[in-house]
Amino acid sequence: TMTVLRKKTVFMFGGHADTHCSQELFMLDLLTFKWSKPLVGGAHPPPTSGHMAAGIGETTLAIFGGYCHSRSGTQFWNSLHIFS
């Protein structure tokens, strides 16, 4: 998913490619058009796609749910993760 915060930063989280899901979080500065990988503490969301993400206020990103297909089957998530 891609979510805009403060009208100047885009956050991109997760996704699915071939046989694996991602749990990476990237940040695009819309003023400089430079990508970076923010330092995040605490529990990370599992590798996922099909999740929902939303900006809350000026500085908070919420990621909910999702699923991941793998060779061993599909896992569905019912969790909420907050980045601020």
- Per-residue pLDDT at 57: 87
Of the candidates 28, 26, 24, which has an alpha carbon nearest to the alpha carbon of residue 8?
A: 28
> pLDDT of 24-44, one tens digit each?
999 999 999 999 999 888 888
Across 1-39, b (16+ Cβ under 10 Å) vs e yields bebebeeebebbbbbbeeeebbeebebbeeeeeeeeeee
User: Percent of the chain having pLDDT more than 90?
Assistant: 55
Amino acid 77: pLDDT = 92
Residue 41: the pLDDT is 84
Query: Which residue type occupies 47?
Result: P
Task: Please give the average per-residue pLDDT across 56-74, as a whole number.
Answer: 88
What is the per-residue pLDDT for 72?
Answer: 81
